Structure 1
Amino acid sequence: MTPAAEVQSNGIAVSTSLDVLIVGAGFGGLYQLHYLRKMGYKCKVVDNASELGGIWYWNCYPGARVDSDIPLYEYSIEDLYKDWTWSERFPAWPELRRYFQYVDKKLDLSKDCIMSTGVKSADFDTKSCRWNVNLTTGDVYDCKYFVLCTGFAAKHYVPDFKGLAKYKGIMHHTAKYPQEGIELEGKKVAVIGTGASGVQTIQEIGPQVGHLTVLQRTPNLCLPMNQHKLDPLIEARVKKEGGYEKVFKDRQTTFGGFHFDFLEKNGDDDTDEQKRQLYEELWSGGGFRFWLATYKDLLFDKKVNDTAYNFWAEKTRARINDPKTRDILAPLLDKQPHTFGTKRPSLEQRYYEVYNQDNVDVIALKENPIETFTEKGIKMKNGEEHEFDVILLATGFDSVTGGLVQIDIKGIDGVSLAVKWSKGTWTYLGMTTANFPNMYFLYGPQGPTAFANGPTIVELQGDWIIDAIDYCEKNKKKTMDASAQSEAGWTKHVAELCDITLFPGTDSWYMGANVPGKPRESLSYAGGVPRYVRETKEVAEKGYAGFNFDGSL
């Protein structure tokens, strides 16, 4: 680790100089560090967590695991994957942590990572053409390039529940679940929210708690994970025969960066019998196949989408015993909570069976909202009061933009990123924003973020950013900054791609609609990975068209 900034006798910190300061020690930040360091650049990573892993440091709630099949959820670096074998198809958080420890050991990353430290503020100095970055420790770094790898879920969200501070029991957001865990056996527990972390927590703790009450606002249209153990001998053979290499190469050719893709036909091309046969195959395949390996017009044509919803409801309702619970968790089409696939479906293993237990019940919040929290629990609008030993808030995130705007970052005009994006997000290529020179971000707004496999995107965007930095250095450019015109064009392009889909018809974090006051807009690029790769490569091949460069050094 580079020594902390020296402090002069007058108490003012003297900054430490770097080529690149990277924020975030998850998949994206560590990828940047590894390759930029190999190219000779002086880099550091800074992260609030005490260990490497990004979201997989914070995700330690019961049942937390990935929703991308192996081998897609790992680095495509051969020196890493050839000697690492996962134990199961969708690894859980402890195994993800072991993986990052393995990556650290192989690539020797920790020596350039500043942990348990956040970024308090950053501003661009127009005279020196460098970023001044203030850390929460009081240390100051100045760098030519500022790369934000904060991820899409770096800022958790808690609704403004009345009386929240009154509650005297144990309460945590799933994103801040205690590292040492919570003793839940025999306890009265509430889980508020049925997004991904809610689903995973509920199915994990349901069998062990004394009583579990789930407070659900919107049903999650969960898909079967179809989890299974992996055979190390089979995995070794697949690697030897080039299977992993092929998967990593082919992911650039699929819409979501997975090893499966939409079909080259529409729903109306098939008879009802053929549709059912396809849906059965996708359902048994598990993972996101039922969502992203189906008819190419499923997310454009409501009529076709309804056939998928009906199939989902039939399959799901058959697993729920109580008729009232069945209607709350898996309504029929006439009570459909939202169009299938326009909110991210969570993958589950035994989620619906948990509700058949005598110790589990569910409250539909749209019919019976929370009135107030009390010292001992929660009072509902209908007057019922529930006492809980533990309340878990699975209430989601200020997704995609929240992790970026929570840092006080000011560009060349002194305007903060939070102010610039307060009425709408503006980017060029989903990796830069005008008036913030030499600043890049990945797995963030207006990239394929929400609609694609994470490691796929952080490597594709990561390579583009690394090449852009190298281009600036080799051509002796002081600054690289998106033009206002190119930014406006890209933002319009992202909106148009989304508007022709079914996504705008649903309030979701995809549209920024889960956080009151947040602009309602498409936060992700809906054109698919191949088109995104093509469009961003074309910009680079044309000498980074759409960017302004400030002179030579």
Structure 2
Amino acid sequence: MGSIGPETDAQAQEIAVIGAGFSGIYELHKLKDAGFKVRLYEAGEGVGGIWYWNCYPGARVDTPVPTYQLTSDDTWTDWNWSQRFPDYSELRTYFQHLVKVWGLEDLITFNTRIESMKWDDQAHHWDLEMRTNGTVQTKSAPAVVVCTGFGSKPYIPPWKGLDTFKGNLLHTGLWPQGGVPLDGKRVAIIGTGASGVQLIQETAKVAKHLTVFQRTPNTALPMSNPQYDKAKNDVWKKSYAETKQMMLTTFAGFDYEFRKENANISTPEVRAAFYKTLLESGGLHFWLGTYQDVLFDEEANAEAYEYWRQSVIKRIKDTRNQEILAPKVAPHPFGTKRISLERQYFEVFNQDNVDLVDLVENNISEITETGIQTKDGVLHEVDVIVAATGFDSVTGGITAIDIRGTDPKQSIKDRWSQGCYTLFGLTTSGFPNMFMMYGPQAPTAFATGPSSAECQGEWITACLEHMRDQHITKIDATKEAEKDWRDHTLEMGGKGLFPKAKGWYYGDNIPGKPREALNYMAGLPLYREKIWESANNGYRGFELTA
């Protein structure tokens, strides 16, 4: 029978961690330090998770440092950031720093994709089938921690004629590691989410012509990305102990929080001054540092949107583009879809080499050999098509693996086909000894990656230590507890204005995907309280088997 814990036998099974992003690297470190035999499997050639795969021009994080980092003292005291919002290359270097500091080099197997997992209910272990550079092998693990992230399964809509295009077809989430030359090319970018905004800004500088195809306006906020020298790094390090404590108290793990008052208690002049300060702060302050009722009250929300709109339209010369990019009537309540950060994004559309197509009025009818034909009959001839069309978010990275638990006839994709069921977003009933990080019904997209990794990683490690100490070989969520957590998650997701927007927070971007709150929207502090309440009461909600 598989054993969770150290073994003297050299052939003893290792706990398997899947994915080398924040969650995977942090959990590998925690399990190693706790004395477990453990190995991490990563499909890419390097660490970084999303920052390995997302290497398109302009790719950078939208959470500022030092918030966007792990908080263990050994990881930051000798580390300096070069900018407030690091790009993917600096974040890759940071991940390499983590691996070195924690001595994880020999515990990671790269170029290895887990293709299937099957639970052996007699031996109480998982059998993993993996492909490494074309070679398939099977290994057993007493427990598996799935850290595939919320954006690891790219989605491209099934446009007619997609396979006929003779040019270069790309997705921002699968950008070639060696890069793609866009200089002097005719480029089409479809989608204006976070990756679209970032890539559009960079492509417009070098492309012969850029055509942007927009379905939904992006209510992007100014980034403000100053460089950090050693003196600036020394400043944040002096107060980082206090910063870490504050991050534990805030909704999403930032070092700032919503204002503890409603918008209507202030005068219009006071609100305008406050909004001006938030915008000038750069980053997500206008979204997550605003009045506490902006995401709940339609009137307060509409006023915030209008303030944002007025700040943007003066930067756009063409009145047609003003209405497409910042319409008079908000396409959805402000902040109920993921806010992006921009650096001169709206000015891009003033350039002679940039065109904007409104897909609401003029949708794509088909892809041809030479470009994109829209409903009005116009053929936009291009050399490169980039689908900045997002991901099968939150669940897609997990369901992409053929995972079969106590019922071998039912995959996890089947189990979630009519709705997602988990306990704390950490486990799912019928799939014992399998833990998920940054997955469904956890804070995930409503928390910073590092804060989420530490929150969940500490709990999972403690759970596995408890199993080892108590000689428990199997842990599984009860269906009753799982249903209660689902009901609680959906209740939290139904509050406020978020359900009024169609987007990946609710699975709306994937045809046939059930519409439901995929994230736990009540904040990290309450989430921590809930998961540790279970652990401190003998892992209430779980069945433990020796």
**Under a length normalisation based on structure 2, what TM-score does the superposition of the two structures give?**
0.96
Say which of 346, 354, 373 aligns to 2:348. 354
Aligned to 2:406: 412
Say which of 55, 58, 64 aligns to 1:60. 55
State the distance in 2 between where 1:472 and 1:104 align.
27
Note if contact 2:443-2:521 (Cα within 8 Å) is conserved in structure 1: yes
State the distance in 2 between where 1:29 and 1:195 align.
26
State the distance in 1 between where 2:186 and 2:407 align.
53
Structure 2: segments with no counterpart, 5+ residues: 1-9
State the distance in 1 between where 2:252 and 2:235 align.
26
Q: Does 1:204 align with 2:198?
A: no
What is the CA-CA distance between 1:432 and the residue it aligns to? 0.7
Note if contact 2:127-2:139 (Cα within 8 Å) is conserved in structure 1: yes
Aligned to 2:164: 166
Note if contact 2:30-2:457 (Cα within 8 Å) is conserved in structure 1: no
Say which of 314, 318, 335 aligns to 1:341. 335
Note if contact 1:400-1:445 (Cα within 8 Å) is conserved in structure 2: yes
Aligned to 1:464: 459
State the distance in 1 between where 2:285 and 2:446 align.
13
Aligned to 1:286: 282
State the distance in 1 between where 2:213 and 2:509 align.
16
Q: Does 1:392 align with 2:386?
A: yes
Q: Does 1:490 align with 2:480?
A: no
Say which of 339, 361, 371 aligns to 1:367. 361
What is the CA-CA distance between 1:72 and the residue it aligns to? 1.3
Aligned to 1:195: 193
Q: Does 1:27 align with 2:22?
A: yes
What is the CA-CA distance between 1:401 and the residue it aligns to? 0.2
SS class of match (1:124): strand
Q: Does 1:134 align with 2:123?
A: no
What is the CA-CA distance between 1:17 and the residue it aligns to? 4.4
SS class of match (2:197): helix
Structure 1 runs, 4 residues or longer, greater than 4 Å off: none
What is the CA-CA distance between 1:252 and the residue it aligns to? 1.4
State the distance in 2 between where 1:200 and 1:164 align.
24
State the distance in 2 between where 1:345 and 1:108 align.
36
Deviations 1:463-504 (A, max 9, x none): 111111111111111111110000000000000011122111
Aligned to 2:120: 125
State the distance in 1 between where 2:214 and 2:105 align.
41
Deviations 1:382-415 (A, max 9, x none): 0101110111110000000000001000111222
Deviations 1:330-389 (A, max 9, x none): 111xx2111101100100011001111111010001100111111111111101011101
Aligned to 1:539: 534
Q: Does 1:328 align with 2:324?
A: yes
Aligned to 1:78: 73
Greater shift, 301-310 or 227-236, is seen at: 227-236
Note if contact 1:189-1:388 (Cα within 8 Å) is conserved in structure 2: yes
Deviations 1:487-546 (A, max 9, x none): 000000000011122111111100000111001000001101111111111111111111
Aligned to 1:149: 147
Say which of 240, 243, 256 aligns to 1:244. 240
Deviations 1:19-43 (A, max 9, x none): 4100001111111111111111000
Structure 1: segments with no counterpart, 5+ residues: 1-14
Figure out how many residues of one structure are paired with residues of the other and give that number. Answer: 533
Say which of 246, 260, 263 aligns to 1:264. 260
Deviations 1:220-264 (A, max 9, x none): 11011111111212312432x3x1222222211001110010111
State the distance in 2 between where 1:286 and 1:469 align.
41
State the distance in 1 between where 2:12 and 2:412 align.
23
Aligned to 2:309: 313
Q: Does 1:216 align with 2:214?
A: yes
Aligned to 2:7: none
SS class of match (2:206): coil
Q: Does 1:379 align with 2:367?
A: no
What amino acid sits opposite 1:516 in the alignment? Answer: P
State the distance in 2 between where 1:48 and 1:16 align.
24
State the distance in 1 between where 2:327 and 2:114 align.
45
State the distance in 1 between where 2:70 and 2:174 align.
26
SS class of match (2:534): helix
What amino acid sits opposite 2:169 in the alignment? Answer: M
Q: Percent identity?
A: 45
**Under a length normalisation based on structure 1, what TM-score does the superposition of the two structures give?**
0.95
Aligned to 2:5: none
State the distance in 2 between where 1:501 and 1:458 align.
26
Aligned to 2:4: none
Q: Does 1:99 align with 2:90?
A: no
Note if contact 2:118-2:126 (Cα within 8 Å) is conserved in structure 1: yes
Greater shift, 93-102 or 400-409, is seen at: 93-102
What amino acid sits opposite 1:128 in the alignment? Answer: A
What is the CA-CA distance between 1:127 and the residue it aligns to? 0.4
State the distance in 1 between where 2:357 and 2:12 align.
55
Say which of 109, 117, 125 aligns to 2:104. 109
Note if contact 2:18-2:41 (Cα within 8 Å) is conserved in structure 1: yes
State the distance in 2 between where 1:308 and 1:16 align.
60
State the distance in 1 between where 2:291 and 2:532 align.
28
Aligned to 1:478: 473
State the distance in 1 between where 2:140 and 2:123 align.
10
What amino acid sits opposite 1:488 in the alignment? Answer: K
What is the CA-CA distance between 1:18 and the residue it aligns to? 2.3
SS class of match (1:477): coil
SS class of match (1:372): strand
Note if contact 1:264-1:295 (Cα within 8 Å) is conserved in structure 2: yes
What amino acid sits opposite 1:314 in the alignment? Answer: Q
SS class of match (2:89): helix
Aligned to 2:232: 234
Aligned to 2:270: 274
State the distance in 2 between where 1:25 and 1:286 align.
30
State the distance in 1 between where 2:492 and 2:180 align.
44
SS class of match (1:18): coil
Aligned to 1:42: 37
Aligned to 1:449: 444
State the distance in 2 between where 1:16 and 1:423 align.
40
Note if contact 1:17-1:143 (Cα within 8 Å) is conserved in structure 2: no
State the distance in 1 between where 2:11 and 2:58 align.
41
State the distance in 1 between where 2:181 and 2:69 align.
32
